[in-house]
Amino acid sequence: MKKIGLFCMVLLLAGSLIGVLAAGREAVADAPIVLRLAETHSQDYPTTQGNYEFARLVEERTNGRIKIEVYHSSQLGEERAVLEQVQFGAIDFTRVSISPLSAFVPEFDALQMPFLYRSGEHMWQVLEGEIGREFLASLEESESGFIGLCFYDAGARNLYNSRREIKTVEDVRGLKIRVQEAPLMMRLIELMGGVPTPMPFGDVYSALQTGVIDGAENNWPSYYSTSHYEVAKYFTQNGHTMVPEITVASSISMAKLSEDDQEIIRQAAWDSMDFQKEKWADFEAEAEQIIRDAGNIITMPTPEAIAGFQKAMEPLYAAQPAYVQDVIARIQAVK
Ligand code: GTR
């Protein structure tokens, strides 16, 4: 009798154990795949808003199977370090400026040459057209470890500093200007006669405040959101570059997903562009207004002065490899 009782108990225990294991397996199968996206800007910045829209579309289109968590405000590190981690698959996605990416894939210089785009419309014709798509695809083929997903708007970059008003390129002479960690940006400031100082975005505010650098260069929204406008009052609307933003995925992370899921991710990123562009347009106007109201010294160079900045960039164009020269010519031919 005792033996039968024991036997029944063992059976019961085994049964419940199988039940628990099966339930566990189901829970694993149902658990969403969670992927991480690194963003340098704060939560309300237009690029971050674009990232959230991308994440929302992916979640919706996979019925919640894939969740993308957005780590904004450089929580996962500065752009260069984040890109390295994306190459290793330690971070799944990041939205960065093309400048830091160009330090890894120099061909991207073709999309960030100074005074290249005639307008925002021209830039978008290029990015959403054949050339932009080619560049996204070429990233994958380059075996850089990145997969290009989409571009975002970043307007035009301008000079600002804490020392003096810059009206012409000659006024830049000797100023220590922070640049992104990218060879092209170094050369650009050098050719203006400035002293380029590469450093991560997050270090710029204190470097301006302590006088380690005299100035930097960026668009209205970044000049505002970082509070650089409080410590570098002179802003010159010379618009030396329009550097698009780009969202890239880690090829290691993407390879773990099914073809269908990869396609959903590519399409969702591409579909988030219009949303970001709208947020950008609003925030760009708002940032400019706030800075003007704050009483900063805003200088609009004359057309002759702009021509002077452009002329200073000629050696940079001349030094480009044949491949980049070809793309530049194609970009210029886009109507
Ligand atoms: C901003 C860009 C950032 C970052 C920054 C910088 O315009 O959105 O991704 O590259 O410039 O200057 O470091």
Residues 273, 257, single domain; the answer is yes
Counting Cβ atoms within 10 Å, is residue 303 exposed (0-12), middle (13-18) or buried (19+)?
A: exposed
Closest residue by Cα to atom 10, ligand 1, is 97
Q: Residue 143: what pLDDT?
A: 87
Measured from the Cβ of residue 52, the count of other Cβ atoms closer than 10 Å reads 18
Residues 271, 305, single domain; the answer is no
User: Is 4 part of a structural domain of the chain?
Assistant: no
Radius of gyration of the chain (CA): 25
Distance 43 CA to ligand 1 centre (A): 15
- CB of residue 249 inside a 6 A radius of ligand 1: no
Q: Which atom of ligand 1 is nearest to the CA of 47?
A: 8
- Tokens, residue 125: 């014709």
Residues 105, 136, single domain; the answer is yes
* CATH number for the domain that contains residue 227: 3.40.190.170
Q: Which atom of ligand 1 is nearest to the CA of 100?
A: 10
Closest residue by Cα to atom 4, ligand 1, is 97
Closest residue by Cα to atom 3, ligand 1, is 97
Closest residue by Cα to atom 13, ligand 1, is 201
Pocket residue to mutate for ligand 1, from 180, 204, 208, 240, most atoms within 8 A of Cβ? 180
Residues 191, 279, single domain; the answer is no
List average pLDDT for each run of 10 residues in the chain, which is 335 residues long. 49 48 51 97 98 98 98 98 98 98 97 98 98 96 95 98 98 98 98 98 98 98 98 98 98 98 98 98 98 98 98 98 97 97
- CB of residue 222 inside a 6 A radius of ligand 1: yes
Q: Report the number of distinct structural domains present in the chain.
A: 2
Q: How far apart are CA 49 and CA 278, in angstroms?
A: 10
Residues 325, 223, single domain; the answer is yes
The number of angstroms, rounded, from the C-alpha of 63 to the middle of its chain's C-alpha atoms is 27
Q: Which atom of ligand 1 is nearest to the CA of 179?
A: 12
User: Which among 55, 80, 50, 81 has a CA at the least distance from the CA of 66?
Assistant: 55
User: Is 176 part of a structural domain of the chain?
Assistant: yes
- CB of residue 201 inside a 6 A radius of ligand 1: yes
User: Is 321 part of a structural domain of the chain?
Assistant: yes
Question: What SS3 state is found at 313?
Answer: coil
Residues 133, 103, single domain; the answer is yes
Counting Cβ atoms within 10 Å, is residue 327 exposed (0-12), middle (13-18) or buried (19+)?
A: buried
Residues 130, 186, single domain; the answer is no
Residues 165, 272, single domain; the answer is no
User: Is 18 part of a structural domain of the chain?
Assistant: no
User: Is 96 part of a structural domain of the chain?
Assistant: yes
Residues 252, 232, single domain; the answer is no
Question: What SS3 state is found at 249?
Answer: strand
Q: Residue 89: what pLDDT?
A: 97
Closest residue by Cα to atom 8, ligand 1, is 97
Residues 115, 90, single domain; the answer is yes
Domain ranges, residue 228: 157-242+296-333
Scanning the structure block, which residue is given the tokens 């010159």? 236
Closest residue by Cα to atom 5, ligand 1, is 201
Mark 6-32 as b/e (b = at least 16 C-beta within 10 Å): eeeeeeeeeeeeeeeeeeeeeeeeeee
> What does DSSP say about strands 234-241 and 297-299: parallel, antiparallel, or unpaired?
parallel
Q: Which atom of ligand 1 is nearest to the CA of 217?
A: 12
Residues 268, 308, single domain; the answer is no
Distance 201 CA to ligand 1 centre (A): 7
Residues 129, 192, single domain; the answer is no
User: Is 162 part of a structural domain of the chain?
Assistant: yes
The number of angstroms, rounded, from the C-alpha of 326 to the middle of its chain's C-alpha atoms is 25
User: Is 272 part of a structural domain of the chain?
Assistant: yes
**pTM of the entire predicted model:** 0.91
Closest residue by Cα to atom 2, ligand 1, is 97
Pocket residue to mutate for ligand 1, from 41, 218, 223, most atoms within 8 A of Cβ? 218
User: Is 34 part of a structural domain of the chain?
Assistant: yes
- CB of residue 299 inside a 6 A radius of ligand 1: no
